[in-house]
Amino acid sequence: MRFRDANQRGQATVELVLLTPLLLTLMFLIFEFGRVFGSWLIVTNAAREGARRGVVVAFDSSGDTAIQQRVQQTANFLTVNAAQCAGSYDSCVQITRTTDGAERLVNIAVRYKVYTLMPIIGDIPFLGRIDYPGYLEVVGLSTMRWE
């Protein structure tokens, strides 16, 4: 009976060694998903607050500074630049105003790059090839009618 118990302990050790890379990768990806999802929530809320600010100020570009400041205040845990989206950026605020008949709409798009803690590129034993980038872009969009 003792001989069988020793074999089972050895089998459990081998199974643990084989599953450890999978479990660590899964735990890392869950943590990264939480970071990206939390950033997306903050960016979406900042876009909504910026749109809300945009519908109570003038319906021209004179209110852009107030909108950008409101977005930055709302996304205080993230570093959101007040610059308009053009070219290469880490974060930006895009403000567009449209007139659809009698309705005036303010559209706010906040873009933010969430840099990953450790990009995974290459072959992982037992998992295969993974191409996990160095950053993921999250976008918060909001549209409101001008009051």
Locate 127 and state its tokens: 């998992």
Quote the pTM value: 0.76
Residue 27's SS3 state is helix
Give the total number of structural domains in the chain. Answer: 1
Average pLDDT over residues 113-119: 80
- Within 8 A by CB and 6+ apart from 52, the residues are 70, 144
Block residue for tokens 């009051």: 147
pLDDT digits (tens, 9 = 90+) for 50-97: 999 988 887 777 778 888 888 888 888 787 766 667 667 778 788 888
Residue 51's SS3 state is helix
Residue 77's SS3 state is coil
Range of the domain at 35: 2-145
Q: 98 has which bridge partners?
A: 105
pLDDT at 91: 80
